[in-house]
């Protein structure tokens, strides 16, 4: 079945590409691989559908879209879904095949466990126990161990998983496509666009099928970009995410130049800010910032106003002095938080 809307969107992008490069692409110029090849295309959602944040999509190469969906976005879904749950809740709610399956340790030794149905008969050599937090029962489970081995034993729930780099990869991809959606190929062919495409494209080329990609591969590639992404603190209830409201952050250096654009990404209940290069003349400041973020930054929340027949596209920048935001350490739940004077 022909997807006519997809074909129409490709034609719109073809015209946009022609304006930027002086000639059209033949098939589709991929914003991630930066090349035009004949391949199957699809509707690529900018923010994964699982987050129910936005249904905005763009034409994308199906092979590239599927790769990032399985290699990194599945892990981000796990992070956001289980954010805020206690170890006991994670143990209770763990599903078969779940990437965040907690381990049950008894005297520092992992022991197999399962959740028996209430009316199932006991199994010889297995012991049923009830986990209680305070006075509240959390769950009933069975462990594959004799009851005598559990006497006076210390039971520990271990969650040994690192998904931070999957989140970084997902946020970089979402930011790149958000800006592509806003600015078209003028973003893709800009310094910032090529920088983001280089990060994503190299990762794809190195680990695309039939090669297998695991968490170690993701960490190895995206470790150098971990300071590009920070979780957001309460910067304001009116921020819906750049994809939805066209609002972002301008970060100002001591010279007054905008050295970074902070794209706000909403992923379900979680929100992140991804910093990409700002003015070309302030690129050295941007990379200094990414290598060693300062304790605080000067910023303004700005709004992008698309052009029309009467006005050119522009950023709407509030008057007055920039505000300051505290930069908490990488991995902090606080992240970027407006400083209260």
Which of the four pLDDT bands, split at 50, 70 and 90, describes residue 97? Answer: very low
Residues 48 and 146 in one domain: no
Q: How confident is the model at residue 162 (pLDDT cuts 50, 70, 90)?
A: low
Say what the alpha-carbon torsion angle 196, 202, 207, 210 is, to the nearest 10 degrees: 110
d(CA 196, CA 187): 10
**Same domain for 169 and 21:** yes
The closest of 98, 26, 34 to 64, measured between CA atoms, is: 34
Total domains in the fold of the chain: 2
121 and 170, same domain (yes or no): no
Start-to-end Cα distance in the chain: 59
Do 181 and 261 lie in one domain? The reply is yes
Ranking 75-79, 148-152, 297-301, 315-319 by mean pLDDT, the lowest is 75-79
Question: Which of 158, 188, 222 represents a domain boundary (last residue)?
Answer: 158
C-alpha–C-alpha distance, residues 151 and 154, integer Å = 9
Q: Which residue has the tokens 């590239």?
A: 64
| 93 within domain boundaries | no
Flag whether 36 is in a domain: yes
Comparing 68-72, 86-90, 166-170, 186-190, the range with the smallest average pLDDT is: 86-90
268 and 146 part of one domain: no
pLDDT at 308 over 70: yes
- Structural domain includes residue 214: yes
Residue 260 lies in a domain: yes
253 and 297 fall within a common domain: yes
Rounded to an integer, the average pLDDT of 246-263 is 95
Q: Nearest to residue 295, comparing CAs of 248, 232, 249, 337?
A: 337
List pLDDT tens digits, range 199-245.
999 999 999 988 888 888 999 999 999 999 988 865 556 778 999 99
Percent of the chain topping pLDDT 90: 51
| Residue 87 forms part of a structural domain | no
CA atoms within a 13 Å half-sphere pointing along the CA-CB vector of 327: 18
The domain in which residue 151 lies consists of 103-158
Is there a domain that residue 281 lies in?
A: yes
Average pLDDT over residues 1-23: 95
Do both 65 and 120 map to the same domain? no
Indicate if the pLDDT at residue 127 is higher than 70: yes
Which tokens in the block code for residue 295? 């304790």
**Same domain, residue pair 46 and 191:** yes
Residue 331 has pLDDT above 60, yes or no: no
Same domain, 151 and 174: no
Q: Residue 42 and residue 17: Cα distance in Å, rounded?
A: 19
Residue 97 lies in a domain: no
Based on the fold, state whether residues 71 and 196 are members of the same structural domain: yes
């Amino acid at each position: 079945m022909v997807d006519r809307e997809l074909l129409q969107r490709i034609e719109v992008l073809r015209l946009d590409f022609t304006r930027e490069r002086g000639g059209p692409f033949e098939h589709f110029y991929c914003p991630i691989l930066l090349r035009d090849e004949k391949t199957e295309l699809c509707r690529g959602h900018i923010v994964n559908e699982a987050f129910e944040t936005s249904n905005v999509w763009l034409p994308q190469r199906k092979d590239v879209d599927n790769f990032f969906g399985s290699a990194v976005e599945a892990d981000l879904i796990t992070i956001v879904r289980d954010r805020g749950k206690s170890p006991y809740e994670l143990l209770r709610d763990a599903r078969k095949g779940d990437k965040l399956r907690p381990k049950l340790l008894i005297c520092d030794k992992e022991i197999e466990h399962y959740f028996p149905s209430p009316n199932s008969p006991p199994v010889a050599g297995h012991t049923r126990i009830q986990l209680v937090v305070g006075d509240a029962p959390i769950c009933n489970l069975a462990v594959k161990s004799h009851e005598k081995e559990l006497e006076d034993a210390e039971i520990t729930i271990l969650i040994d998983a690192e998904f931070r780099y999957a989140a970084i990869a997902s946020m970089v991809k979402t930011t790149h496509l958000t800006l592509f959606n806003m600015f078209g190929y003028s973003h893709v062919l800009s310094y910032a666009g090529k920088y983001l495409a280089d990060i994503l494209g190299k990762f794809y080329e190195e680990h695309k099928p039939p090669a297998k990609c695991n968490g170690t591969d993701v960490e190895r590639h995206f470790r150098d970009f971990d300071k590009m992404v920070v979780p957001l603190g309460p910067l304001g209830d009116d921020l819906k995410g750049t994809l939805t409201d066209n609002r972002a952050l301008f970060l100002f250096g001591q010279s007054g130049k905008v050295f970074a654009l902070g794209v706000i990404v909403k992923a379900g209940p979680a929100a992140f800010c991804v910093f990409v290069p700002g003015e070309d003349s302030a690129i050295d400041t941007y990379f200094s910032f990414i290598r060693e973020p300062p304790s605080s930054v000067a910023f303004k929340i700005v709004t992008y106003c698309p052009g029309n027949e009467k006005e050119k596209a522009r950023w709407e920048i509030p008057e007055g002095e920039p505000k300051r935001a505290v930069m908490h350490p990488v991995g902090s739940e606080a992240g970027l938080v407006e400083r209260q004077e």
